[in-house]
Structure 1
């Protein structure tokens, strides 16, 4: 490795806006187990499958329907 590098002529990566951003999300064990099982069947990382599913939801503007039952 060099002791110093010259970045004076460097350009910004034009694809940087397409990179993924790391976030922390809390998922229950059953959900993780479901996606890990699917990942084993498909031969791909479960994080990728979750990302693809969420991307599909966002692209199709899918909305979650929640019906809360009032506490008795």
Structure 2
């Protein structure tokens, strides 16, 4: 690293986008990661699609229990 950096020609906010949505990374335990990758491979789908389908199914299940109570 340099001792000093010259930002005199810098442009404030050049990379700022107010409407950007940040997606948080999710870190899985190795056994869960292996299981999901294998299942996605067996079904010929991407891991992202498989996980989203599982989560949506669980969301529906949770909502049905909420409505029942």
TM-score by length of 1: 0.51
1:18-64 deviation digits (Å, cap 9, x = unpaired): xxx7221121011111011011111010121011101111111089x
Aligned to 2:39: 38
The alignment of Structure 1 onto Structure 2 pairs a total of residues equal to 43
Unaligned segments of structure 2, at least 5 residues:
1-21
Greater RCO (Cα-Cα under 8 Å, separation 6 or more) = 2
Give RMSD over aligned pairs: 2.1
Q: 1:23 and 1:47 mapped to 2: Cα distance?
A: 13
Give the 3-state SS of the residue equivalent to 2:62 in structure 1. coil
More helix by share: 2
Q: 1:49 and 1:35 mapped to 2: Cα distance?
A: 8
Q: 1:29 and 1:47 mapped to 2: Cα distance?
A: 16
